[in-house]
C-alpha cells in the first residue's frame, strides 16, 4: 500500500510539473497550485543535460522535448575577441540521447503541463499557499484565497522564495546575494553557434546557447549591485554597455539592441539547504532547496531529478513517510551539493578575472585543465541511478 494517496504540489515550474507527473502516473491524486495567473514563464531557454533527459523519458515527455530542442555535444570557450581558448566534448548522453538538448523554457513548460493534464492532475492557477497547519498526520493547508485542503504530502517546488521552506526553517537558511547578475536575451542564431559558448572577458563573461533551428539565447554574467533596479526601457543601453568588450557576434547583437528587445535580468542568489528537506508531511525540492549558478546548466535538471527521486522515495521507499522523506533529502543533498560547489567555484574563478594579465593566466589554465575539469562534472552528472 502506498504511503501517499493524495499530494499537493506547490509551484508549477519544471520541478513542480515533473513532481506532479511522477506522482500522478503512479496513481496518486495530485493537485498542483501555481501563484502565477498563466504559464507564460519569464526566462529564455534551458539546456538540459542527458541526466535530465533520462528523467523526462520516465515521465513520458522525452519525444516532444527531443523533437523541439537543439541537440549539442560540445562547448567552446573564447577570449573577448572570439579567439578559441578551449574546446570540450561533453562526456554525457549516448544510447540515443544527446549530451544536451536545449529549448525555450516556455516550450518545456508546455510539454510538461500537457502531460500533467493528460494524467488528470488538477491544476489551479493564480492560487498560492498561505500556510501549513501544525500536528501529526496528513497536512492541513490554507490557500491565499481562503480555501483549505488536507493532503498526505505537500511537495514544495515553489522556487527560490519558497513558502514551504519558509514554513519549515523560516529565514534560518535561504538565498544570499552573490554580487553577480545574469542578463539574457533570445536572438537569431548565427549558423556557426552549434553548441554552448562562453567568451571570457575581464570582469564578466558573455555566451550563447542554441535553443531552436535559428534561435539562441545570449547571456552576460557580471558583477551587479544586489539591490539595483533596471527599468525595462534602459535595459538595451545597459546591456550594450556591458557587452562593449566583446567582439564577434556578441558585438553585432549588442549593436542591434533596441528599447523593444526582450531582455531579462536576474541577480544570482546561490543557496543550498543543508537539511532536513522535510518537516512533517511537507518536503522541498528544486530551487526551493538549492539555487545554483547557471554554469553547469543544471538547475532545472536537478529540479526534475528531485521530483523523480521524491516520488520514488515516497512510493517505493521503506519505513514511515518521514523516513522516506528523510532518505530523499539525504540522497538529493549529496548530489546537489556537488553541482552547487562546482558551479560556485566556476563562477568565482571566472569573475575573478580582473585584468589583461589575469585573463591571460585564466586562458592558459583553461587550455591546460578546462576540458578535463568539466569532464569531472560530466561523469558525476551521468552517474545517477534512477
Ligand X SMILES: Cc1cc2nc3c(=O)[nH]c(=O)nc-3n(C[C@H](O)[C@H](O)[C@H](O)COP(=O)(O)OP(=O)(O)OC[C@H]3O[C@@H](n4cnc5c(N)ncnc54)[C@H](O)[C@@H]3O)c2cc1C
> Where along the sequence are the contacts to ligand X (CB under 6 A)?
10-16, 33-36, 43, 46-48, 128-129, 157-159, 163, 182, 184, 266, 286-287, 294, 297-301, 303
We find the least distance from the C-beta atom of residue 257 to ligand X, in angstroms, to be 18
User: Residue 38 CB: number of other CB atoms within 10 A?
Assistant: 9
We find the least distance from the C-beta atom of residue 296 to ligand X, in angstroms, to be 8
Chain Cα centroid distance, residue 171: 22
We find the least distance from the C-beta atom of residue 137 to ligand X, in angstroms, to be 22
Q: Which CB, 64 or 294, lies closer to ligand X?
A: 294
We find the least distance from the C-beta atom of residue 143 to ligand X, in angstroms, to be 8
DSSP per residue, 71-123: EE-EEEEE-TT--EEEEEE----BTTB-SEEEE-HHHHHHHHHHHHHHTT-EE
In whole angstroms, give the CA distance from residue 24 to residue 119. 6
In whole angstroms, give the CA distance from residue 222 to residue 209. 17
We find the least distance from the C-beta atom of residue 319 to ligand X, in angstroms, to be 26
In whole angstroms, give the CA distance from residue 160 to residue 261. 26
We find the least distance from the C-beta atom of residue 22 to ligand X, in angstroms, to be 13
Q: Which CB, 3 or 97, lies closer to ligand X?
A: 97
Q: Which CB, 3 or 178, lies closer to ligand X?
A: 178
Q: Which CB, 6 or 365, lies closer to ligand X?
A: 6
In whole angstroms, give the CA distance from residue 33 to residue 55. 22
The conformational region for residue 164 under phi > 0 = left, psi -120 to 50 = alpha, else beta, is: alpha
How many CA atoms are closer than 13 Å to the CA of 241, on its beta-carbon side? Answer: 4
Q: Which CB, 113 or 298, lies closer to ligand X?
A: 298
Q: Which CB, 288 or 314, lies closer to ligand X?
A: 288
Amino acid at each position: 500500500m502506498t504511503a501517499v494517496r493524495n499530494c499537493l504540489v506547490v509551484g508549477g515550474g519544471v520541478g513542480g510539473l515533473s513532481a506532479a507527473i511522477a506522482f500522478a502516473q503512479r496513481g496518486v491524486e495530485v493537485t498542483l497550485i501555481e501563484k502565477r495567473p498563466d504559464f507564460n514563464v519569464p526566462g529564455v531557454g534551458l539546456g538540459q543535460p542527458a541526466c535530465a533527459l533520462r528523467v523526462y523519458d520516465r515521465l513520458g515527455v522525452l519525444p516532444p522535448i527531443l523533437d523541439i530542442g537543439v541537440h549539442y555535444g560540445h562547448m567552446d570557450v573564447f577570449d573577448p575577441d572570439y579567439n578559441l581558448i578551449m574546446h570540450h566534448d561533453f562526456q554525457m548522453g549516448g544510447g540515443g540521447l544527446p549530451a544536451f538538448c536545449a529549448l525555450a523554457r516556455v516550450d518545456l513548460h508546455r510539454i510538461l503541463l500537457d502531460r500533467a493534464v493528460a494524467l488528470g492532475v488538477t491544476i489551479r492557477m493564480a492560487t498560492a499557499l498561505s500556510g501549513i497547519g501544525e500536528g501529526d498526520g496528513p497536512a492541513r493547508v490554507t490557500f491565499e484565497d481562503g480555501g483549505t485542503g488536507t493532503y498526505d504530502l505537500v511537495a514544495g517546488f515553489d522556487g527560490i522564495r519558497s513558502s514551504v521552506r519558509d514554513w519549515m526553517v523560516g529565514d534560518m537558511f535561504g538565498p544570499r546575494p552573490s554580487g553577480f547578475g545574469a542578463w539574457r536575451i533570445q536572438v537569431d542564431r548565427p549558423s556557426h553557434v552549434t553548441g554552448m559558448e562562453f567568451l571570457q572577458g575581464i570582469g564578466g563573461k558573455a555566451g550563447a546557447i542554441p535553443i531552436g533551428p535559428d534561435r539562441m539565447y545570449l547571456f552576460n554574467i557580471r558583477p551587479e549591485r544586489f539591490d539595483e533596479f533596471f527599468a525595462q526601457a534602459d535595459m538595451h543601453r545597459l546591456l550594450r554597455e556591458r557587452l562593449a568588450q566583446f567582439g564577434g557576434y556578441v558585438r553585432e547583437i549588442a549593436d542591434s539592441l533596441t528599447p523593444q528587445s526582450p531582455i531579462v535580468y536576474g541577480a544570482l542568489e546561490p543557496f543550498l539547504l543543508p537539511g532536513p528537506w522535510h518537516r512533517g508531511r511537507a518536503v522541498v525540492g528544486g530551487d526551493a532547496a538549492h539555487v545554483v549558478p547557471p554554469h553547469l546548466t543544471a538547475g532545472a535538471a536537478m529540479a526534475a531529478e528531485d521530483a523523480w527521486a521524491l516520488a520514488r522515495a515516497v512510493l517505493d521507499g521503506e519505513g514511515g513517510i518521514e523516513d522516506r522523506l528523510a532518505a530523499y533529502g539525504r540522497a538529493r543533498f549529496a548530489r546537489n551539493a556537488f553541482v552547487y560547489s562546482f558551479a560556485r567555484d566556476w563562477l568565482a574563478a571566472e569573475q575573478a578575472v580582473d585584468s589583461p594579465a589575469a585573463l591571460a593566466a585564466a586562458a592558459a589554465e583553461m587550455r591546460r585543465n578546462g576540458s578535463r575539469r568539466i569532464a569531472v562534472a560530466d561523469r558525476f552528472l551521468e552517474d545517477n541511478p534512477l
